Amino acid sequence: MKTSKNTENQHRNEFIALLGLYFLGLGWLAVILTTLGFFYAWILAAYLVFGAAWLARHFSLHRKKIVFGRTFLIVLILSISTIILWSYYTTPTIFSGRDQGSFSQAAALLAQNHRLAFSFPAEKQFFQIYGPGKALNFPGFYYTPSGDLITQFPLGYISWLAIFFAFFGLTGFILANAVSFLIFLLSFYLLARKYSQRDFSLIAVFFVLTSFIFAWFFKFTLSENLALALVWFGLLELVTYLEKNSRLHLLATLASFGLLLFSRTEALAFLIMIAVLLFIVFRHPRKICVAVGKKLGLTLAGMTIIYFFSFKVNFYFYLTVVKGFIASFSSRPSFDPGGGNHFFVPFLYVLKLFSAYTLISFLILGTLGILYILRRKKYLWLVPAFVILPVFVYLVHPGISADHPWMLRRFLFAVVPGSIFYSAIFLEHFFPKKIYAYILAAFVLTTNLLVLAPYLAFSPDRNLLPQVKNIAANFNSSDLVLADPLATGDGWDMMTGPMRFLLGKQVVYFFNPNDLAKINTKLFNHVYLIIPDQNFPRYAQAGFLNKLITIKSYQIETSTLTTENSTQETTWNSTITLPGVQKNIIYGKIYLLKK
């Protein structure tokens, strides 16, 4: 009976690895096509069809041996149900100004143009003003030496989003996060089952599903969402490899963390930790080479070549990373304007942030769980913690702006899920009577829900796109449209991006009125300006008063999150309060420039 159970587990593990490799293969294919500048949906469709057929055949041949169990099906149904609920309250984040909008725009343009670089007449006019380098009028993009625009963000997540946008349009952005989050949840549960009994593996899943941080960032097109899937599927396969010593699981591990290299710079640290771990296990480089084998070695060489080849295509992302890395260590933290002990000040701020969002319990319980494992000398249980250890430096040096909940994204894909993972282990193994563990788990779940509930149904940008479409209807594709940064009332949600890639208008984020004199307006049928009433005095002072004809008034209503100290400079001793929902109304006008 035991042999039969082991055989069932082996076939199940193999099928999970193959299923994961199917999605990883899709991600790798998208990266390769993006790197080659040959991103076409029909190639991806062919892969999906033939890959699915092969998987279905494999499952059919081994269906009696592939057993997942009732609990896994419960987790699957629970996960899909939760993802559907979250998706219902999600609006694709496509507006210019912050990372999520830049990711979405780059992905949509990749799907439309089949390559990362693109151009249009209005963009060329501003390139003549500013030249190669950061495209100030197009947030998230750089001007290439030839005058094209290209993203400053990693192509891995952009390629992943572009797959789904190519097939499903804007809804594809939600589906892209939904698929990656489902992979994460199932991998997280299966990994937890290797160390915990059913009840506490389920508790770990419930901890995830009730935590604000996961439900909130699911709503945004940010690379951490893909990283969640890649890190935890990779960890699942790594632990399975160490148990079974099968190259299939090692391939899945390296393919997962290798693909992460194209989305997150932390992947390099993870791969180094995996290499160190393999050296500890095998104790000699030759034994590692034997374990890898020739076929897997050649596969790794191919992955490495693709990665280095992508440097040319994704050059501005790496340039941005280097600049950001230097700036984060050479300047004072944004939440410590007064100086002081730079090592402890961010850490104290992070602890206060974790307390406000009820994540502190996971950090404490997870730490106790690791200490308990060390005391019991169950070192194999520490494999996930060992691999993700480098990112815990974010607790003392987050390297991100201090506004929240934005700052929490630093801890989304490794620190918080890792803490939850070891919290569940601690709850199961520390308490002599399980009733105490259940009571503590129920308390944590309750506090999670109290934080999550007010924000679950809140969707950023819910009604913004229909209002922007009404404004865009006033322009033709041959017109030049210059939009003030606050035309929508928020510089993080500017209308320029979707009006270009979705509605086909030549719209530019216009922040310097003096640039208008440097533009050849004769190339365009009309030149319009979209200016909120609150900013019109700036244009009047620049001499625009007699150059503009009022065409139409507009009004935009939005809802945003705000905190009590959102207008103040954030310091380590600022009081952290959970954000509230604030309704905003912006009034403005569309102006025609006199010729």
Whether the pLDDT of residue 86 is over 90: the answer is yes
Dihedral sign, Cα of residue 285, residue 391, residue 203, residue 183: negative
Report DSSP state, residue 486.
T
Q: What is the mean pLDDT of residues 574-580?
A: 84
Q: Tell me which residue range forms the domain holding 518.
A: 463-595
When divided into structural domains, the chain yields a total of: 1
CA distance 437 to 196: 13
Q: Please write the tens of the pLDDT for every residue from 321-355.
A: 887 767 666 555 555 544 444 556 788 889 999 99
Confidence band, pLDDT 50/70/90 cuts, at residue 570: low
User: What digits encode the pLDDT tens for the residues 124-177?
Assistant: 999 999 999 999 999 999 999 999 999 999 999 999 999 999 999 999 999 999
Task: State the pLDDT at residue 13.
Answer: 86
The token pair at 561 is 């999150």
In whole angstroms, give the CA distance from residue 30 to residue 35.
9
φ, ψ of residue 91 to 5 degrees: the values are -115, 130
How many other C-beta atoms lie within 10 A of the C-beta of residue 514?
A: 9
Residue range 539-550: mean pLDDT, rounded: 90
Residue 49 lies in a domain: no
Residue 177 region, left (φ>0) first, then alpha (ψ -120 to 50), else beta?
Answer: alpha
Q: For 287-310, what is the mean pLDDT? A: 85
Evaluate whether residue 501 is within a structural domain: yes
pLDDT score, position 571 = 56
Rounded distance between C-alpha atoms, residue 435 and residue 433, angstroms: 5
Query: Is position 510 within any domain?
Result: yes
CB half-sphere exposure, 368, CA atoms < 13 A: 15
pLDDT in tens, 219-256: 999 999 999 999 999 999 999 999 887 889 999 999 99
Residue 294 confidence class, pLDDT cut points 50, 70, 90? confident
Computed over every residue of the chain, the mean pLDDT equals 90
| Tokens 């705000």, residue located | 562
Give domain status of residue 467, yes or no. yes
For 416-429, write each residue's pLDDT tens digit: 999 999 999 999 99
Q: What is the pLDDT of residue 320?
A: 83
Instruction: Give residue-wise pLDDT tens across range 166-211.
Output: 999 999 999 999 999 999 999 999 999 999 888 999 999 999 999 9
pLDDT for the residue 69: 83
Residue 200 CA to residue 386 CA, distance in Å, equals 22
pLDDT at position 403 is 85
pLDDT tens per residue, range 353-410:
999 999 999 999 999 999 999 999 888 899 999 999 999 999 998 888 888 899 999 9
Identify the pLDDT of residue 329. Answer: 60
Q: Cα(48)–Cα(41) distance, rounded to whole angstroms?
A: 10
**3-class secondary structure for 114-176?**
CCCCECCHHHHHHHHHHCCEECCCCCCEEECCCCCEEECCCHHHHHHHHHHHHHHCCHHHHHH
Is residue 574 a part of any domain in this protein? yes
User: CA 298, 311, 135 angle in degrees (round to 5)?
Assistant: 160
Tell me if 534 is assigned to some domain.
yes
* pLDDT (0 to 100) of residue 299: 86
Predicted local confidence at residue 345, as pLDDT:
74
Cis preceding linkage at 405, omega within 30 = yes
Distances (CA, A) of 85 to 90, 199, 451: 9, 24, 17
Determine the pLDDT at residue 433.
Answer: 87
- Which comes out higher in pLDDT, residue 499 or 347? 499
pLDDT at 2 over 50: no
pLDDT attached to residue 476: 95
For 426-478, the three-class secondary structure string (H helix, E strand, C coil) is HHHHHCCCHHHHHHHHHHHHHHHHHHHHHHHCCCCCCCHHHHHHHHHCCCCCC
- Single-letter residue type at 271: L
> What's the predicted TM-score (pTM) here?
0.94
- CA dist 395 and 351 (Å) reads 8
In a domain, 41, yes or no: no
Query: Could you tell me if residue 60 is inside a domain?
Result: no
State mean pLDDT over 514-531.
Answer: 93
What are all long-range contacts of 430-435, with beta carbons under 8 Å and residues at least 24 apart?
430/368, 430/369, 430/372, 434/199
- Tell me: the pLDDT tens digits for 449-492? 999 999 999 998 899 999 999 999 999 999 999 999 999 998 89
